[in-house]
Amino acid sequence: MKKIAILTTLVFAMFAANSSFAQTVVKKTTKKTTVVKKTTPAAGKVSAATLEEGKQLLAKNDCLSCHKEDVKIVGPAYKDVAKKYPATAVNYEKLTQKVIAGGSGVWGDVPMAAHPSVPPADVKKMVQYILSLK
């Protein structure tokens, strides 16, 4: 008799374990997956306010004495610069460094003056404005 009792308990325990296992499986498979949509703006996207600021900074600094939007003077026309470089985060960074350091060789032998005292954040806005000119 004792054996049967043990056996029934065992079977019952197994059954219980089994059914609770089955339950967890059901729970897992019916669990809702919520998709979180990220609304981070695309890399090259710049707000209209930033572009306006960039435009004003070009006039405040010495940039317009060597550059015009659509004609080459000493430096290349900004529209030509925009044609050469797509408006991407990498190009914003690259051209910001170039404006700060100055240099020549990309558009000819005439060098651009260095701008070490202009804050990089300001230079970046100017570059963003330049690359928006299409």
Site for ligand HEC, rule CB under 6 A: 61-63, 65-67, 74-76, 81, 95, 98-99, 103-108, 110-113, 115, 118, 126-127, 130
Q: How far is the CB of 62 from ligand HEC (least distance, A)?
A: 4
Between 51 and 95, whose beta carbon lies closer to ligand HEC?
95
Q: Are 95 and 85 in contact (CB under 8 A)?
A: yes
Q: How far is the CB of 43 from ligand HEC (least distance, A)?
A: 18
Between 86 and 108, whose beta carbon lies closer to ligand HEC?
108
Q: Where are the alpha helices (DSSP H) in the chain?
A: 2-30, 48-60, 78-84, 89-101, 120-131
- Give the tokens for residue 115: 């701008």
Question: DSSP 3-state assignment of 37?
Answer: coil
